[in-house]
Amino acid sequence: GDVVSADRLTDGIHLVVDALKLNEVEAVYGVVGIPITDLARLAQASGIRFVGFRHESAAGHAAAAAGFLTGKPGICLTVSAPGFLNGLVALANATVNCFPMVQISGSSERHLVDLQRGDYEEMDQLAAARQFAKAAYRVHRAEDIGRGIARAIRTAVSGRPGGVYLDIPAAVLGEVIDAQAGAASLWRVVDPAPRQVPEPAALDRAIDLLASARRPLVVLGKGAAYARADDQIREFVERTGVPYLPMSMAKGLLPDDHPQSVASTRSLALRRADVVMLVGARLNWLLGHGDAPQWNADAKFIQVDIASTELDSNQPIAAPLVGDVGSVMQALLDRTGSGRITVPSQWRDELAARSAENVAKMAKRLAAAETAHPMRFLGALQAVRDVLRENPRAYVVNEGANALDLARNTIGMQVPRHRLDSGTWGVMGIGLGFAIAAAVESGDPVVAIEGDSAFGFSGMELETICRYGLPIVTVVLNNSGVYRGDAAASESGDPAPTALQARHDLMIAAFGGKGYRATTPDEVTAALREALALGKPALVDCVIDPTDGTESGNIAHLNPKGITVQR
Ligand code: ADP
């Protein structure tokens, strides 16, 4: 048509961008290609921050982390078939971790795909996504784009958050419709995650149970961190005096040096507690499913969770509290004056005594590691810990086997939602995507503490970090191997399956970032301090003793035991 009538027209691409803006989406993480390149360009031109990655799973992990950090669904944009599948890894991981995220993917021509005529990047993406996501939707008409985006956002963030797939075929992106009708078809989601409060009887049941406890324990999970109920949680824990255990991503909800934290006496706390209140934490493998002998077989459970189907998944829940953590904790506070729930001093003393023993044991290990040559994990991590203490606002991203176990226990968090890690799946590959999201969403510095194997899954995103000039320091704990780096080569001369070799500091230099190689804790300290002060992309390759580290870290028991394989 002529120029005048084109003014009165819009298309699918514009409608997607307009719908995202109307719903206050500020950043989109993705990888461009057919059919979404113009969508990314238009998003950027309209003021949305488009962050272009090298691989879709890293872009997806970034969107998931953005969802956790902001409480609004992170948006990932992918191309058809292979790009879509790469992103799907992150969508599935987001769903498992209860992070709100929407993966918007272009897809190929429906009339070709559905008859399997062999289209460019042919795949039934909707069917593929469905089993890995909280929900999957497809838009067939440009006039439904606003509805599709509203529905995706609502589904991702309400109730138990998760990953939502939104399929938009190329033909819909290119569909031209009347601009006024298009604008009228968009809407803004009102109160995307409505609050939910349990009834008074349920609250009283929980309070009575907690009040009857002789050895009560609160477990805080990442659902509690996600809920942004920091004040209510702190008030409840401190008013009742109940000892609490932070799951890894709940660290910092209360500062890790809090006197009521039982992080240093976790096994005793689980084994002995008689009433356990789970707050946004599942009784999954990370908590031994609540089973004896790791847990007291007679323990009674209170569970605060937004998802009612989570309750009774592993153990009988004596006092269910279905609702959002913020509302539930507030309601509990309103009904428990001081003195209603108290903690017998015997329990506090028992925990304190064990904690003192464990801290002393750990202090010896830390002291030995400080002077060890070659450097050990704990030598490097103490240096990282000390520099992070000078930078309490820095975000910490953490993945690996030993790198995860040891960093989690060594590095305390002071503020909520500043630690992002391998999460519910124990997945590798989240590292740089999570780090990029933390930097983009907050503008604050990020330290990504990575095992050398874990780093490799998203290592190419160093280029993304450098291209956007993000204040991320990647610390690679490089012991030249998966788990360890000391396995002998095979008889054929091939390296062992667990072997790795890399100078990661040289890698970042190729992209214009600053690389450091550290062989002693002092060098780690100096490098990390300088890198954080510069506020520029940097990587510290920490050369770790290849004999340091244990197979599979803390979860070696999950390896199948058949006829013994020589390690
Ligand atoms: P962790 O791994 O830290 O133990 P999980 O991911 O296992 O934590 O558990 C998080 C739980 O929190 C999930 O069962 C989820 O349904 C719940 N959850 C998420 N958001 C909220 C919220 N706002 N209020 C209450 N529960 C929530």
CA of 253 to the centre of ligand 1 (A): 14
Task: Compute the distance between CA of residue 148 and CA of residue 241 in angstroms, rounded to an integer.
Answer: 47
The verdict on pTM exceeding 0.90 is yes
Which pLDDT score is estimated for 6? 67
Q: Is the Cβ atom of 313 under 6 angstroms away from ligand 1?
A: no
The residue whose CA is least distant from atom 5 of ligand 1 is 281
> Is 238 in contact with 255 (CB distance < 8 Å)?
no
Which pLDDT score is estimated for 1? 42
Q: Are strands 176-178 and 9-11 parallel, antiparallel or unpaired?
A: antiparallel
Which candidate, 105, 399, 416, 144, places its Cα nearest to that of 256?
416
160: its two tokens: 């138990």
Which pLDDT score is estimated for 7? 81
**To 10 degrees, what angle do helices 56-70 and 81-97 make?**
30
Which pLDDT score is estimated for 567? 57
Q: Is the Cβ atom of 325 under 6 angstroms away from ligand 1?
A: yes
| Whether complex ipTM tops 0.90 | yes
Q: Is the Cβ atom of 106 under 6 angstroms away from ligand 1?
A: no
Which candidate, 241, 305, 245, places its Cα nearest to that of 270?
245
The residue whose CA is least distant from atom 22 of ligand 1 is 324
Task: Compute the distance between CA of residue 323 and CA of residue 87 in angstroms, rounded to an integer.
Answer: 31
Residues paired with residue 261 on neighbouring β-strands, in sequence order: 244
Residue identified by tokens 């009283």 is 204
Distance set, CA 75 to CA 56, 104, 179, 333, 545 (Å): 12, 7, 25, 36, 40
Residues of the chain predicted below pLDDT 50? 1-2
Task: Compute the distance between CA of residue 262 and CA of residue 256 in angstroms, rounded to an integer.
Answer: 9
Mutate to test the pocket of ligand 1, among 158, 248, 325, 327 (most ligand atoms within 8 A of CB): 325
The residue whose CA is least distant from atom 19 of ligand 1 is 223
- Strands lying side by side in the sheet with 135-138: 49-52, 27-30, 74-78, 101-107, 163-169, 135-138
> What's the DSSP call for residue 540?
E
Q: Is the Cβ atom of 286 under 6 angstroms away from ligand 1?
A: yes
Mutate to test the pocket of ligand 1, among 95, 282, 284 (most ligand atoms within 8 A of CB): 282
